[in-house]
Chains A and B, each alone.
Chain A
Amino acid sequence: MSTLEKTRRRGGIKNVSLFITVILFVGLFAAGSVRYDRFLSLSTFLNLFNDNAYLIIVSVGITFVLLTGGIDISVASTLAFTCVFSAFLLRLGVPAFVVIPLVLLIGLGVGALMGFLIHSYDLQPFIVTLAGQFFMRGLCAVISTESIPISDGFYKSMALGKVAFGKAKLYYYVFIALAVVALAYYVLKYTKFGRGVYAVGGGEQSAVLMGLPVARTKISVYAISGFCAALAGVVFSFYTLAGYSLQNMGLELDAISSAVIGGTLLTGGVGTVIGTMFGVLIQGVIQTIVTYQNLNTWWTKVTIAALLCVFIVIQRIIAIRAEKLKNKG
């Protein structure tokens, strides 16, 4: 096989995961449409975004971390903390335009701090963000173990504000999520920082020797992940109009699985936020189908578990085949 042909085959592989993800999404959506009468509608499609806006934001944030080869399991707690702390402050009468920037800054700061610890002391990201998870979840309970309702006017307007497309509707906060995806896509593809994220994931030592700002990059991805978690928290509190300390337990794993289904490798260096978004949407479709089928919602998890296994196996097979192709030359 000629070198060119060989590499062309290999080149397809870069986007195979994304391709499979999109096909899978379309396939699931089509299957739902065939099976259930009122499934096929713009409304069903847009509701995937309405229901999962916060998860898209968290998953995009965590994708940055995964791309560097790290992991962040603190995001669900950061999200919950944001909800509880926002609700707490709003109840004290602090205005929304103070509360929102403040909680976003906290998310950013906590993420940056974890990134700093991970990088400067060469610690395992898993342990550091596990500590972050306990810490933030603990703080939630310290503020209140009860659910705190939100009655702020701005939050209420965001909870209800929507754009209608006929019978279908898109809530305002979905646009926040889409903006996050678009911005993340741009940053990862067209900025030095974004390419640095991929480089660190491809080989941290190499990145250092190529003169890239590895320290800044590594700390930044955790800061971004923390910020996105806090932003998702704000969106989630629009959505629920309450803050509760036990909200979204285990959400970090949904975010990670979304990224993986979307083609991100946990070893770092490979993945896209578009893929991640589709990863979230796939979980959304499955959830919708499970609801239509009137099954226990845990079936969602069972299905996603099966999907995850299939996906990582497929990724592995692709990698092995690529390796073989290369060695044959």
Chain B
Amino acid sequence: MDAEKLLLRMEHISKRFPAVVALDDVEFSLRAGEIHALLGENGAGKSTLIKVLTGVEQRDSGTVWLEGKEIFPRTPQEAQETGISTVYQEVNLCPNLSVAENIYIGREPRRAGRIDWKTINRKAAELLGRFNLNIDVTQNLDAYSVAVQQMVAIARAVDISARVLILDEPTSSLTAVEVQKLFEIMRMLKSQGMGIIFVTHFLDQVYEVTDTITVLRNGEYVGTYATAELPRVQLVGKMIGKEYAELEGSAAAKGGEERMGEVLVELRGAGSASIPDVNLEIRRGEVLGLSGLLGSGRSETARLIFGVDRMERGEVDVRGRKTEVRGTLAAIRSGFAFCPENRKTEGIVGDLTIRENIVLALQTKRGMLRAISRAEAEKIADEYIEKLAIKTPSQDQLIRNLSGGNQQKVILARWLATNPDLLMLDEPTRGIDIGTKAEIQKIVIQLAEEGMALIFISSEIDEMLRCCNRMAVLRDKVKVAELSGEEISEAAIMNLIAGGAQNEQPA
């Protein structure tokens, strides 16, 4: 390929970290006016490649050309100056500053030496206007939703004369409508000749918006393909290095009524500050799905059962006996377990080892006076590392060094170690690669088969269909239907979810 005609060209990029080779002789090309998906499982090297390109990390070897000129960004600032901007999954702006300031900080227009606030506010409003975002730019950023914040981040990036815009999993926390808005903006920027690198886990989105796909696997370059010419099944095969058929094998979740046992938990009119009225039954041996849009009350239901949010009204029966929900410790002791949605802030303890993270909940359940011995902890950790196939050199590894998928498995192990009767999983596969996703789904089904009761929450209907044998559909904090067996179908769920809000198509 002729480097001159390309906007961006990376060749023979390698990067080693103390324990692993993160990138091994990887190449990547981007044309002007192209949306290019960068795909791969967690640990494939996407993040590292982005970091190398944006100057967060330095490459060990290889060459990067931007518009025919060799570049070597050492800091994000240098990368920005050469025309490469990034919008990250977590919005990396300052919530305490105004929207306008977030767009112009570090390059404020000045008049007579002092920052010219009027110009900043005016220009920011104009800029966001071009993105069809008409908001008060003098308000603090944290007055707005994550979606708006992300648009602001993109506006900032684009305004810094970006030739290359990197979107690193920007859609993870957006609703379907917001995603569409983002895509509109991406297409607009593309038509203006910008090159966009789009990192995502959602294959639907890849096929909807991208022109080209580059796949990485285990730090190696697999190939670059035109999106239109690469069938989905083949893409998945390239990403995980195995055939898609193997994944389909786990699709036998439906049915299974015969293994459903007695009612474990029953909620009657239970409510907390964030959800008014929950009526639900959870049986042993079933996977009960909670389906609905973001904010429909899925997580709130789980939090209520686990005693995170205080129960203000209603009744709960556990194992047929009326029980008071008195907080998380009581919930753990009565055999409940809960993997929350926000893995990084509510799940892992980053600076502890895998072993320590695994035994946390078990220690809590036992109480502080009955310490788990080192030997026992090692045994438990080893057991689950093997059982759940957690990829790590040792159980002494800090959990923050693991990929998202493996972190999730550790959290899962933490709760399995307490031997719970009820396991609640809130978005357990968000931001996780397809291979690990399938593994987690398999574990879920297997646990139900062993007689555990599970509550499964996910935004992906595919995954819900695969895992759940009963499904409660929520809309605006109210359960609108319960489906089981043959009634469960994508169309039925979508119709129920859409209900009053016809415009909102689920992702």
Chain A residues whose CB sits within 8 angstroms of the CB of B88 once the complex forms: 209
Complex-state Cα separation, A198 to B93, whole angstroms = 12
**A24 CB contacts on chain B under 8 angstroms:** none
Whether A195 lies near B114 (C-beta < 8 A) is no
With the chains together, A198 CA to B108 CA distance in Å?
14
Whether A10 contacts B143 by the Cβ 8 Å rule is yes
Give the shortest distance, in Å, between B269 (CB) and chain A (any CB).
Answer: 23
Most B CB contacts (10 A, CB to CB) among A186, A190, A191, A201 go to A190
In whole Å, how far is B172's beta carbon from the nearest beta carbon of chain A? 17
Contacts of B96 in A (CB 8 A): 198, 201-202, 269-270
Residues in A with CB closer than 8 Å to B188 are none
A326 touching B115 by the CB < 8 A rule? no
Known: A195-B97, A195-B105, A201-B96. A10 touches B135 (CB 8 A): no
Q: How far is the CA of A190 from the CA of B80 in the complex (A)?
A: 24
In the complex formed, the residue of B with least CB distance to A199 is B94
Closest 3 CB pairs of A and B: A202-B94, A211-B77, A269-B96
CB-CB contacts of A101-126 with B at 8 A, as 1s and 0s?
Answer: 00000000000000000000000000
Whether A195 pairs with B101 at a CB distance below 8 angstroms is: yes
Query: What 1/0 flags go to B110-142 for Cβ under 8 Å of A?
Result: 000011000000000000000000011011101
CB proximity of A185 to chain B, nearest CB, Å: 12
Inter-subunit contact B136/A4 (CB<8 Å)? yes
Task: Bits for A182-198, please: 1 = Cβ < 8 Å to B, else 0.
Answer: 00001001111001101
Cross-chain contact of B108 among A10, A14, A192, A203 (Cβ < 8 A): A192
In the assembled complex, which residues on chain A have CB atoms less than 8 Å from the CB atom of B95?
Answer: 202-203, 269
Is the CB–CB distance between B94 and A206 below 8 Å? Answer: yes
**Which positions 7-26 of chain A face chain B at CB distance < 8 Å?**
7-8, 10-11, 14
**Residues of chain A within 8 A of B140, CB atoms compared:** 10-11, 14
| Contact A11–B94 (Cβ < 8 Å) | no
Give 17 A-B pairs besides A11-B139, A206-B94 with Cβ atoms closer than 8 angstroms.
A7-B136, A7-B144, A8-B136, A202-B94, A202-B96, A202-B97, A206-B92, A209-B76, A209-B86, A210-B76, A210-B106, A211-B75, A212-B106, A269-B95, A269-B96, A322-B143, A326-B142
A205 touches B101 (CB 8 A): no
Q: Smallest distance from the beta carbon of B107 to chain A beta carbons, Å?
A: 9
B145 on interface, CB distance cutoff 8 Å: yes
Cβ of A178 within 8 Å of any chain B Cβ, yes or no, is: no
Q: A11-B136, A211-B76, A211-B106 are in contact. Are A206 and B93 (CB under 8 A)?
A: yes
Contacts of A113-141 to chain B: CB distance below 8 A = none
**Chain B 156-172 interface residues, beta-carbon cutoff 8 Å to A:** 156
**A203 in contact with B114 given A10-B139, A208-B76, A329-B145 (CB within 8 Å):** no
A159 proximal to B (CB < 8 A): no
Q: Which residues of B contact A189 (CB under 8 A)?
A: 115
C-alpha spacing A3/B139, complex, angstroms: 12
| Interfacial chain A residues near B93, Cβ < 8 Å | 203, 206, 210
Q: Chain B contact residues: over half helix, strand or loop, or mixed?
A: loop
Measured in the bound complex, the distance between the Cα atoms of B101 and A322 in whole Å is 20
Asked whether, in the complex, the Cβ of B115 is within 8 Å of the Cβ of A191, the reply is yes
Q: Which residues of A contact B77 (CB under 8 A)?
A: 211-212
Cβ contacts B310-334/A at 8 Å (1 or 0 each): 0000000000000000000000000
Residues of B within 8 A of A198 (CB): 94, 96-97
Which residues of A come within 8 Å of B, CB atoms? 3-4, 6-8, 10-11, 14, 186, 189-192, 195-196, 198-199, 201-203, 205-212, 269-270, 322, 326, 329
Contacting pair A210 B105 (CB below 8 A): yes
B66-99 contacts to A (CB < 8 Å): 75-77, 80, 86, 88, 92-97
Q: A212, B115: Cβ atoms under 8 Å?
A: no
On whether the beta carbons of B114 and A186 are closer than 8 Å, the reply is yes
Given A199-B94, A202-B97, A212 contacting B105 (CB threshold 8 A): yes
Q: Nearest chain B CB to A207's CB is how many angstroms away?
A: 7
CB of A209 within 8 A of CB of B105, answer no
Contact assessment for B143 and A7 in the assembled complex, using a CB-CB cutoff below 8 Å = yes
Most buried by B among A10, A189, A206, A326: A206
Instruction: Report chain A residues within 8 Å CB of B106.
Output: 192, 196, 210-212
In the bound complex, how far is the Cα of B459 from the Cα of A21, in angstroms? Answer: 46
Residue in B closest to A265 when the chains form the complex, CB atoms = B96
Pull 9 A–B residue pairs with CB atoms less than 8 Å apart, ordered by A. Answer: A8-B136, A191-B114, A191-B115, A192-B106, A195-B115, A202-B94, A209-B86, A211-B106, A269-B96
Distance (whole angstroms) from the CB of A318 to the closest CB of chain B? 13
Q: Are B145 and A207 in contact (CB under 8 A)?
A: no
Distance between Cα atoms of A269 and B229 in the complex (Å): 50
Among B94, B97, B138, find the residue whose CB has the most chain A CB atoms closer than 10 A. Answer: B94
Name the CB-closest residue of A to B104.
A195
Nearest CB of chain B from residue A148's CB, rounded to whole Å: 43
Whole-angstrom CA separation of A206 from B94 in the bound complex = 6
Q: If A209-B76, A211-B80 touch, does A199 touch B115 (CB 8 Å cutoff)?
A: no
Chain B positions within 8 Å of A329 at CB level: 145
The answer on a CB contact under 8 Å between A7 and B139 is: yes
Residue ID in chain B nearest A14 by CB atoms: B140
- In the assembled complex, the CB of B17 is this many whole angstroms from the nearest CB of chain A, namely 19
- The answer to whether A209 touches B115 (Cβ under 8 A) is no
- List chain A residues, Cβ under 8 A from B75: 211
